[in-house]
Amino acid sequence: MIMDYKVIRSDRKTVGIAVGPDGVTVRAPRGMTEERIRRIVADHRGWIEKKLREEEKRRSEAAGLPPLTAEEIGELRERARKVLPERVAHFAPIVGVDCGRITVRCQRKRWGSCSSRGDLSFNCLLMLTPDHVIDYVVVHELCHRVEMNHSPRHKALMRRALPDFREAEKWLRDHGVTVLERRRAKTGGTTPENG
C-alpha cells in the first residue's frame, strides 16, 4: 500500500515526520533525494500508521462535540482579551523579553504566533484548554522573541521559563484537535500549529 505524504524542504540537516489532521508531513533537507525520503518514510511506516489511527480517533471524538456558536466564540474572545495579556505580562520578564501588540482571534489552525516586530497573536480557543496549556502557548510565543525557530535554543528558553512544558505539549497533541474541531465544525479549517 502506498502512503501519501507531503514533503517540505528547507535548510534543515535532518528529516522530521509529523502526523496531523491533514495527514503526513515530511520535513527534509533541500538536497535529499526523493528515493531517500521514500526509504525513511517506509522505515517509519509502523509509527506513522499508529499516529494516523490516533489522529482518526481524535477526529471521531471531536465530531461528537457540538460546534461553538457565534455567541460562545465572542465570550471566549472577551475572556482571552483579559487573561492572555495578564499571562504575557507575567512571563515576559521571566523569559527576558518585551512584546508589541497582543491580538486575539478565533483561528482555525494556530494556537499562537509571533511576528518579527514582536506582535503576539493568540487563539481565543485557548480558553477551552487547561491553565498550564495557556501558559505554554504564551511562553512558546515569547521565546520566539529571542529565537524565531524551534531550535534547541528555543527549547532551552522554554525549559528555563516553564520547566514542565512537555506536559502541555502532550496535552495539545492529545486534545488540541478536539478543541479546534469545535470551531471548524461550522467553518472548515486545517492543522493546529504553534507559530
pLDDT at 192: 37
**pTM surpassing 0.75?**
no
Is the CATH number of domain 70-194 3.30.2010.10? yes
What SS3 string covers the chain? CCCCCEEEEECCCCCEEEEECCEEEEEEECCCCHHHHHHHHHHCHHHHHHHHHHHHHHHHHHHCCCCCCHHHHHHHHHHHHHHHHHHHHHHHHHHCCCCCCEEEECCCCEEEEECCCCCEEEEHHHHHCCHHHHHHHHHHHHHCCCCCCCCHHHHHHHHHHCCCHHHHHHHHHHHHHHHHHHHHHHHCCCCCEEC
Top-confidence range, 50-59, 76-85, 169-178? 76-85
Residue 4 is placed in which grid cell? 501519501
Question: What is the torsional sign of CA 186, 188, 193, 195?
Answer: negative
Pairwise CA distance, residues 82 & 71, whole Å? 17
pLDDT band at 78 (very low <50, low <70, confident <90, very high): very high
**Cβ atoms of 45 and 96 closer than 8 Å:** no
Which of 101, 179, 172, 99 has its CA nearest to residue 135?
172
**How confident is the prediction for the chain on average, in pLDDT?**
87
pLDDT at 191 over 60: no
pLDDT at 51: 86
pLDDT at 194: 42
24-33, 122-131, 168-177, range with the lowest pLDDT: 168-177
Pairwise CA distance, residues 83 & 180, whole Å? 19
pLDDT band at 1 (very low <50, low <70, confident <90, very high): low
pLDDT at 189: 36
For range 172-180, the mean pLDDT: 87
pLDDT at 195: 44
pLDDT at 156 over 60: yes
Q: What pLDDT digit, counting tens, does each position of 99-148 carry?
A: 899 999 998 889 999 998 999 999 999 999 999 999 999 999 999 999 99
List CB contacts of 165: < 8 A, sequence separation 6 or more: 136, 139, 140, 158, 159
pLDDT at 101: 95
The domains of the chain are located at 6-63, 70-194
